[in-house]
C-alpha cells in the first residue's frame, strides 16, 4: 500500500515535465560558471558610436515574430498558489531525486531508458501525426518503431537515427486539438503536473489512452503511473537544470513560465 502511494506520488511528479517546455537534449554535464569574461576588445561587430543604426520598431515584435495572443489567466490566484507548491516540491523532492538517481545510474543507461520509453510511446506520436495529416511524419514513426524495436533491441538503441538519420518529433493530442482549431482556453497551473491549459488537459487524457504503458498492469493502476513517473525522473536526470535555467532571469517566474509555455505550445501547434 505504501509502495502504491509512493508510485502514485512519483507518477505525479512525472507528469510535471510532460507538460513542461522543450525537452532539450543537452548533456547533463557539470559545469562551473566562470564569471571570467573577455573585454569587448577587438570585436569587429562594427557597432560604432551611433545607436540609431537600425532605428525601426526595435521596441516591439519585429516582422519575423508570429503574433501570439497571451493566454487568459482568470484563475491566477489559484495558479500562483499551485506554482508555489510545485516550486517547493520540485526543488525539495523531484530535482534532488533526479540528481541522486543520476549519480547511481550512468548516463548511457539513462539514455537507453529514455530511448526505450520513447519507442514504447510511439502510438502517441503516430496516431497524432495521422490525425494532423502529417503522413510523412507518421511513416517516419512507423519506420523508427520497426527498426528500433528489432535492430535497436526493444528501442534501447536508436539505429533509425544512427544509421538512417531519421529523427523523432514529439506530437501529442493537445497539439492535434490545436491543429483542429481548438484554442488553449484558459491557463491552468496544475499541482505536480505544472503548466497546462484546458486544451492541453484534455490532450493529456488523450495521451494517456494512447500510451501503451497505461494498459500494462490492468490490476494495479499505480504501476503504470509509476512507470510514467520514473520515465519523467529519468528524463529530468538528463538535464536537471532545465527549469531553473529557463527561469533564471525572470522578473516574475510564474508569468515567465506561463507565457513561455504558452508560446512554446502554440508554436508546436503551428509546426
Partner 1 sequence: MRHIKKFSALLAVFILLVTAHTAIAGEATTALKSTLDEAITLLTNPDLKAESKLEARRVKLREIFRGRFDYREMGKRSLGKHWKKINAAERDEFSDLFARLIEARYITKIEAYTDEKINYGGERAVKNKVQVNTDLITKQGTEIPINYKLLKNKAGKWVIYDVVIEGIGLVRNYRTNFGKFLSRKSFADLVADLKSKV
We find the least distance from the C-beta atom of residue 220 to partner 1, in angstroms, to be: 31
Per the structure block, which three cell numbers stand in for 111? 539514455
Which residues between 83 and 112 bind partner 1 (CB under 8 A)? 111
Which of 160, 193, 210, 243 binds partner 1 (CB under 8 A)? It is: 160
We find the least distance from the C-beta atom of residue 174 to partner 1, in angstroms, to be: 15
Per the structure block, which three cell numbers stand in for 148? 528500433
Which span sits near partner 1 by CB under 8 A: 10-18, 91-99, 165-173, 194-202?
165-173
We find the least distance from the C-beta atom of residue 131 to partner 1, in angstroms, to be: 20
The dihedral built from the CA positions of residue 256, 260, 27 and 82, taken in this order, carries a sign that is positive
Which span sits near partner 1 by CB under 8 A: 18-26, 74-82, 190-198, 205-213?
18-26
Which of 1, 2, 48, 74 binds partner 1 (CB under 8 A)? It is: 48
Q: Are 107 and 28 in contact (CB under 8 A)?
A: yes
Residues whose CB falls within 8 Å of the CB of residue 115, separated by 6 or more in sequence, listed in order: 148, 152, 155, 156, 157, 158
Which span sits near partner 1 by CB under 8 A: 184-192, 200-208, 226-234, 260-268?
260-268
Find the Cα–Cα–Cα–Cα dihedral 13, 264, 268, 57, rounded to 10°. Answer: 180
Of 37 and 219, nearer to partner 1 (C-beta) is: 37
Which span sits near partner 1 by CB under 8 A: 8-16, 57-65, 131-139, 189-197?
57-65
Phi and psi angles of residue 268, each rounded to the nearest 5 degrees, phi first: -65, -40
Under the criterion CB under 8 A, does residue 42 sit at the interface with partner 1?
yes
Which of 4, 8, 9, 23 binds partner 1 (CB under 8 A)? It is: 23
Amino acid at each position: 500500500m505504501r509502495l502504491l502511494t509512493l508510485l502514485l506520488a512519483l507518477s505525479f511528479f512525472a507528469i510535471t515535465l510532460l507538460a513542461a517546455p522543450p525537452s532539450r537534449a543537452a548533456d547533463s554535464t557539470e559545469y562551473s560558471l566562470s564569471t571570467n569574461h573577455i573585454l569587448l576588445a577587438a570585436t569587429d561587430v562594427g557597432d560604432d558610436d551611433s545607436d540609431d543604426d537600425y532605428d525601426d520598431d526595435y521596441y516591439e515584435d519585429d516582422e519575423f515574430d508570429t503574433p501570439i495572443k497571451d493566454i487568459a489567466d482568470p484563475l491566477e490566484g489559484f495558479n500562483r498558489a499551485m506554482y508555489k507548491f510545485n516550486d517547493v516540491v520540485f526543488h525539495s523532492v523531484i530535482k534532488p531525486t533526479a540528481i541522486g538517481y543520476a549519480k547511481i545510474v550512468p548516463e548511457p543507461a539513462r539514455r537507453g531508458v529514455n530511448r526505450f520509453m520513447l519507442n514504447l510511446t510511439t502510438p502517441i506520436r503516430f496516431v497524432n501525426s495521422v490525425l494532423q495529416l502529417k503522413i510523412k511524419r507518421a511513416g517516419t514513426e512507423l519506420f523508427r518503431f520497426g527498426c528500433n524495436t528489432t535492430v535497436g533491441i526493444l528501442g534501447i538503441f536508436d539505429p533509425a537515427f544512427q544509421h538512417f538519420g531519421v529523427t523523432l518529433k514529439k506530437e501529442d493530442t493537445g497539439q492535434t486539438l490545436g491543429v483542429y482549431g481548438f484554442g488553449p482556453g484558459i491557463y491552468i497551473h496544475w499541482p505536480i503536473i505544472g503548466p497546462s491549459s484546458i486544451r492541453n488537459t484534455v490532450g493529456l487524457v488523450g495521451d494517456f489512452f494512447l500510451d501503451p504503458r497505461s494498459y500494462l498492469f490492468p490490476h494495479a493502476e499505480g504501476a503504470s503511473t509509476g512507470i510514467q513517473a520514473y520515465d519523467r525522473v529519468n528524463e529530468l536526470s538528463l538535464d536537471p537544470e532545465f527549469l531553473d535555467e529557463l527561469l533564471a532571469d525572470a522578473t516574475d517566474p510564474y508569468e515567465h513560465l506561463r507565457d513561455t509555455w504558452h508560446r512554446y505550445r502554440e508554436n508546436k501547434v503551428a509546426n
